[in-house]
């Protein structure tokens, strides 16, 4: 018999759902930046000094002055109407196709959107295709909904669409279908690459032929450095075969927990129906709508492009000086990430540990792969690190690589 | 063969999850106040003129000035630390027991919290006990997670705890257990009643004996009129057997989508783990923490108590003048709702329709019951209606009742 006051661990395990059992308890401070005095290339976190606090306050003042009554009441599960209107108008311009508000739902960040997509589409045992390597947060969500993930490899030009085709044929032969293909076609996380335009067209054609839904995660698409990226899968399929998940996290602030998803109205309305949160904050939604209308958002994004381009340049210069003997990479065209391939025989885990000892943290290996395979890759996020710390950080990373290479040579 | 462009309805039905199929598509403008020029006693919505926009702006300015860096970054799935601290400190005072931050999780409103509780605890086919009548939004959430709801009746003193005991024994004999009992013990929605202190003690004793989790929804608890309500189930069980779900919706604004839940740390950490949204807005969370620290929240709640007490008084005076022949009620001690019992033979549906024809909307009947049973009750929300519209609204409701009674007498 349990004692009659507190719950025992066994009682908790017996009480919780299958999903909760898969996940176990949470540790506090998850998704927090490292609190130690280190140089961090680890998290996909935005630049700190440019966070637009004053622009947010200015917009908040306008909202309270002109639309307090609506901003402080329920806004519905599709999201606050002025934000949907501002997103539809802006997206029509960016996507080059007309986007109506019935194609737009506002969510509490893109991680929330991906969870709502799973609530809408996934029953335990369903199959999803997943670009690999990929963002661990999304793969965790798919896993906890009981989805079976089929990993599709990438190369420097992004997802291997020929292998998507093979996987679809294989599933068809097994009498299965994929509920969706999850990918990050632009400035991919972690690989940094961008899916070539020809492959995008092939992928949309495949989707049309196989009635395959494309779950297109576009958290980084607007942060390009020299040229606009190719048209999105959403645009190429005329909004029919892609749910494009976007976020204000990387273009305003992760601390807002706001994003949006565009797709076929029939699926958008299913997402609005299945969520149980009575919608995402109309107060914050209208603040962001005001930042879109008054031009602050576009000005801020232009500024971010220049900041991240300069950070990448500085990282690349330092890599050339300190790490050139130990790794190669394909330069990203935008976003937050540089994906280093280590020299044959060098282990990413060893380099990560050696860097950590030198006060530098980087992301590595298995967490980015649905099958948990170890790799010889490191992910360098150049977004969060202070401009003035970059050279020193990469210098120490080079020392770490040299130490690992020396140990390897001595074997 | 489907055509090769848009999705057909059949294709969508085949694509979506079991939950999405239960729910169907959403209609836009759900949870919006009625847009017609009517007098509304329908929605559980806060008073409009007192919405604290200036206090929110003042707090936002302080947050951007002093803690912008933290406010605009991820805060983790337990919620922003300063808000958890402010809630724990304030709750220790209100509950009369020490509350630590490991007992607190911040959610995107209480509807979100209840959904996260379901993600954490409910597998399809599980049983939950539900106080009846009850809030339709929560019952909808339970239903879509596949929970079987056992309705437990109430009387003027709230939940019939003797019937909870019977239901638990019955379940035990069937080899089943209830995952939780969902109830709104204070200023209940829709019944307006408050669970008597003796019954609260019995219920906590039952929970302890049967290892039954109490899911205590407290959206209205702080809005008492003359006297503080009895101790919460959370307090009476020393935080061990209740998850107490609270919301800033009714004490600040529904447009923030912010709330909090307190309970055993082991369950709070499971809730933090199972959610997939990377937490609720640290920006808004820190704004609310500032409103707690600077005293604005407590001052605002004191003001709200006086506003809603005056609205209730005005409604009661008008009911005496215009509706006394047709209905009775037990006066609520706080909250938003008055639950009218119609004279025998009068149908709540008929009165609702007759009132609607006269430009007055009220809530009625089956939506508040898990079994969908029709009733002779009407719910009058006295919170949202303008002070100056109350007498006219109740006058028209009285006319509607008179018309229904006359039709009934003529039969």
Q: Are A245 and A261 in contact (CB under 8 A)?
A: yes
Q: Tell me if B271 sits within 8 A of B120, measured CB to CB.
A: yes
Does residue B149 sit in the same domain as residue B182? yes
Give the closest-approach CA distance of B112 to chain A in angstroms: 4
Is the alpha carbon torsion for A289, A294, A300, A305 positive or negative?
Answer: positive
Name the phi and psi angles at A361, rounded to 5: -115, 140
Please determine, for residue B31, whether its predicted confidence score (pLDDT) is greater than 80: no
Q: Examine residue A281 and state whether it is found in any structural domain, yes or no.
A: yes
Mind listing the pLDDT tens digit for each residue in B142-156?
Answer: 999 999 999 999 999
- For B200-207, what is the mean pLDDT? 98
In this model, does residue B36 exceed pLDDT 70? no
Q: ipTM of this predicted complex?
A: 0.95
Q: CA of B215, closest CA in chain A: separation in Å? A: 13
> Does the residue B97 lie in any domain?
yes
Q: Closest approach of chain B CAs to the CA of A296, in angstroms?
A: 17
pLDDT of residue B35: 63
Query: Nearest by CB to A112, which of B28, B121, B277?
Result: B277
- Which residue do the tokens 């006219």 mark? B392
Neighbouring CB atoms inside 10 A of B290's CB total 25
For residue A5, pLDDT over 70 is answered with no
**DSSP type of residue B36:** S
pLDDT at B32 over 60: no
pLDDT above 70 for A406: yes
How many Å lie between the alpha carbon of B180 and the closest alpha carbon of chain A? 9
* Sequence-ordered list of residues with C-beta below 8 angstroms from that of B311, at least 6 positions apart, any chain: B47, B382, B383, B385, B387, B390
Q: Are residues A276 and A390 in the same domain?
A: no
- Judging contacts by C-beta atoms under 8 Å, the chain A residues touching residue B60 are 56-57, 60
Report yes or no: A336 and A382 within 8 Å, Cβ to Cβ. Answer: yes
Q: What is the model's pLDDT at position A41? A: 95
A83 and A40 both lie in a single domain? no
Asked if the structure places residue A283 within a domain, the reply is: yes
Would you state the pLDDT for residue B2? 43
Q: Is the dihedral of CA B69, B75, B79, B84 positive or negative?
A: negative
Cβ of A73 within 8 Å of Cβ of B211? The answer is: no
Other residues' Cβ atoms within 10 Å of the Cβ of residue B78: 26
Q: Looking at B264, B297, B330, which one is the last position of a domain?
A: B297
pLDDT at residue number A288: 98
Residues of chain A in contact with residue B210, where contact means CB-CB under 8 angstroms, are: none
CA distance B407 to B411: 7
Nearest to A131 by CA among A88, A181, A170, A178: A181
What would the two tokens of residue A106 be?
A: 């506002």
Are both A350 and A397 inside the same structural domain? yes
Q: Is some CB atom of chain A closer than 8 A to the CB atom of B181? A: no
Residue B163, CA atoms < 13 Å, CB-side half-sphere = 13
The chain A residue lying nearest B105, using CA atoms, is A28
Instruction: Please give the Cα distance from A131 to A134 (Å, whole number).
Output: 6
Q: How many whole angstroms separate alpha carbon A212 and alpha carbon B222? A: 50
**B145 shares its domain with B274:** yes
Tell me the shortest Cα–Cα distance from B285 to chain A, in angstroms. 10
Q: Which tokens sit at A97?
A: 């196709």
Q: How far is A172 from chain B (nearest CA, A)?
A: 15
Question: Between β-strands B214-217 and B178-183, what pairing exists: parallel, antiparallel or unpaired?
Answer: parallel
Q: Do B257 and A266 touch (CB under 8 A)?
A: no
Could you tell me if A136 and A235 lie in one domain?
yes
> How far is the CA of A367 from the CAs of A136, A409, B279, in angstroms?
6, 28, 21
Q: Does residue B78 sit in the same domain as residue B164?
A: yes
Residue with more model confidence, A375 or A98: A98
The closest CB to that of A276, out of B27, B111, B280, belongs to B111
DSSP 3-state of B42: coil
Would residue B4 count as lying in a domain?
no
CA distance B318 to B308: 15
CA of B159: how far to CAs of A183, B170, B182, B198, B204, in Å? 50, 18, 11, 11, 13
The label of the residue with tokens 């024809």 reads B357
pTM of the model: 0.95
Question: Best mutation site among B57, B257, B261 for testing chain A: the one with the most A CBs within 10 Å?
Answer: B257
Q: Using CB atoms and an 8 Å cut-off, which of residues 189-218 of chain B contact chain A?
A: 208-209, 211, 213
DSSP SS3 for B107: strand
Q: How far apart are the first and last CA of chain A?
A: 57
Collapsing DSSP to helix, strand or coil, B202 comes out as helix
Contact pairs from chain A to chain B, CB under 8 Å: 297
The domain spanning residue B102 has which CATH number? 3.40.640.10
Domain membership flag for residue B26: no
Could you tell me the sign of the dihedral formed by the alpha carbons of B191, B194, B199, B203, in that order? Answer: positive
The answer as to whether A15 is a domain residue is no
> Does any domain span residue B30?
no
Rounded to whole angstroms, the Cα distance separating B350 from B400 reads: 9
Using the Cβ of A20 and the Cβ atoms of chain B, whether some distance falls under 8 Å is answered with yes
Q: B200 and B100, same structural domain?
A: yes
**DSSP 8-class letter at B33:** P
Instruction: Give the pairing type, strands B327-328 and B259-262.
Output: unpaired
| Mutation choice for B interface testing from A5, A26, A252 by most B CBs within 10 A | A26
Q: In this predicted structure, what is the pLDDT of residue B261?
A: 98
CA A53 to chain B, closest CA, distance in angstroms equals 6
Same domain, B312 and B199: no
Q: Lowest mean pLDDT: which of A122-126, A161-165, A375-379, B341-345? A: A375-379
The tally of domains found in chain A comes to 2
Does A109 reach chain B within 8 Å, measured CB to CB?
A: yes
Q: A163 with A65, same domain?
A: yes
Distance, first Cα to last Cα, chain B: 57
Q: Which of 353-372 (B) contact A at CB < 8 A? A: none
pLDDT at residue B364 is higher than 90: no
Checking if the pLDDT of B118 tops 50, the result is yes
**In the predicted structure, residue A4 carries a pLDDT above the cut 80:** no
Predicted local confidence at residue B1, as pLDDT: 40
**Among candidates A173, A138, A172, A168, which has minimal Cα distance to A150?**
A168
Task: Answer yes or no: do A7 and B179 touch at CB < 8 A.
Answer: no
The answer for B 265-324 residues in CB contact with A (under 8 A) is 266-267, 269-270, 272-284
Say whether both B254 and B184 belong to one domain. Answer: yes
A341 — contact with chain B (CB < 8 Å)? no
Query: A53-71 and A296-322 are packed helices; what angle lies between their axes, rounded to 10 degrees?
Result: 140
**How close does chain A come to B365, measured CA to CA in Å?**
22
Per-residue b or e along A121-144, where b marks 16 or more CB atoms closer than 10 Å to that residue's CB? bbbeebbbbbbbbbbbbbbebbeb
CB spacing of B72 vs A258 below 8 angstroms: no
CATH code assigned at B304: 3.90.1150.10
With CA atoms as reference, the chain B residue closest to A240 would be B6
Whether residue A9 is contained in a domain is answered as no
Q: Residue A30's pLDDT is what?
A: 43
* Nearest to A126, CA basis, from A102, A112, A142, A109: A142
Query: Residue-wise over B354-369: b if at least 16 C-beta within 10 A, else e?
Result: bbeebebbbbbbebbb
* Mode of pairing for the β-strands spanning A327-328 and A214-217: unpaired
Contacts 24+ apart (CB under 8 A), B346-353: B346/B376, B346/B401, B346/B404, B346/B405, B346/B408, B347/B374, B347/B376, B347/B404, B348/B374, B348/B375, B348/B376, B348/B377, B348/B378, B349/B374, B350/B404, B350/B407, B351/B378, B351/B397, B351/B400, B351/B401, B351/B404, B352/B378
Domain that holds residue B128: 53-297
Left if phi > 0, otherwise alpha if psi is -120 to 50, otherwise beta: which for B211? left
Least confident range from A41-45, A261-265, B220-224: namely: A41-45
Using one digit for the tens of pLDDT, what is the confidence trace for A272-283? 999 999 999 999
Is residue A112 scored above 60 in pLDDT?
yes
A330 contacts: CB under 8 Å, gap ≥ 6: A156, A192, A193, A339
Q: Which of B281, B285, B289, B381 to mutate to test the interface with A (most CBs of A within 10 A)?
A: B281
- Please state, in angstroms and as integers, the Cα–Cα distance from residue B39 to each residue in A399, B194, B355, following that order: 73, 27, 10
Q: Is B75 on the interface with A (CB under 8 A)?
A: yes
Instruction: Name the domain boundary from B245, B269, B297.
Output: B297
Q: Considering chain B, what percentage of its residues have pLDDT values greater than 70?
A: 96
Tell me, yes or no, whether B278 and B137 share the same domain.
yes
pLDDT tens-digit readout, A240-258: 999 999 999 999 999 999 9
């Amino acid at each position: 018999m349990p004692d009659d006051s507190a719950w025992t661990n066994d009682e908790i395990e017996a009480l919780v759902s299958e999903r909760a059992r898969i996940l176990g308890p949470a540790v506090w401070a998850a998704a927090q930046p490292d609190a130690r005095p280190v140089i961090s290339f680890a998290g996909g976190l935005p630049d700190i000094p440019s966070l637009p606090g004053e622009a947010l306050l200015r917009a908040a003042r306008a909202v309270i002055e002109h639309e307090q009554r609506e901003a402080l009441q329920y806004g519905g599960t599709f999201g606050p109407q002025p934000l949907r209107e501002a997103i539809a108008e802006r997206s029509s311009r960016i996507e080059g196709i007309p986007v109506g508000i019935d194609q737009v739902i506002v969510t509490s960040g893109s991680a929330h959107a991906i969870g709502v997509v799973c609530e809408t589409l996934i029953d335990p045992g369903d199959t999803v295709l997943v670009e690999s390597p990929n963002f661990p947060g999304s793969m965790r969500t798919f896993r906890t909904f009981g989805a079976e993930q089929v990993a599709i490899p990438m190369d420097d030009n992004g997802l291997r669409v020929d292998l998507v085709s093979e996987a679809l044929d294989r599933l068809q032969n097994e009498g299965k279908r994929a509920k969706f293909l999850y990918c990050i076609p632009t400035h991919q996380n972690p690989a940094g690459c961008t899916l070539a335009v020809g492959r995008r067209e092939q992928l949309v054609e495949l989707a049309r032929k196989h009635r395959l839904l494309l779950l297109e995660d576009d958290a980084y698409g607007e942060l390009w450095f020299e040229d606009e990226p190719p048209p999105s899968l959403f645009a190429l399929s005329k909004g029919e075969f892609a749910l494009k998940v976007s976020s204000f996290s990387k273009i305003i602030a992760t601390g807002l927990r706001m994003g949006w998803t565009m797709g076929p109205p029939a699926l958008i309305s299913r997402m609005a129906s299945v969520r149980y949160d009575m919608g995402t904050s109309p107060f914050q939604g209208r603040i962001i709508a005001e930042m879109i209308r008054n031009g602050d958002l576009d000005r801020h994004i232009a500024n971010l492009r220049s900041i991240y381009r300069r950070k990448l340049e500085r990282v690349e210069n330092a890599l050339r000086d300190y790490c050139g003997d130990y790794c190669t990479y394909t330069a990203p065209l935008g976003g937050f990430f540089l994906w280093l391939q280590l020299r044959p025989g060098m282990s990413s885990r060893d380099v990560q540990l050696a860097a950590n000892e030198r006060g530098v943290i980087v992301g590595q290996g298995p967490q980015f792969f649905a099958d948990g395979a170890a790799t010889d890759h490191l992910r360098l996020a150049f977004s969060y690190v202070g401009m003035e710390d970059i050279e020193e950080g990469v210098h120490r990373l080079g020392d770490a690589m040299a130490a690992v290479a020396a140990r390897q040579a001595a074997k």
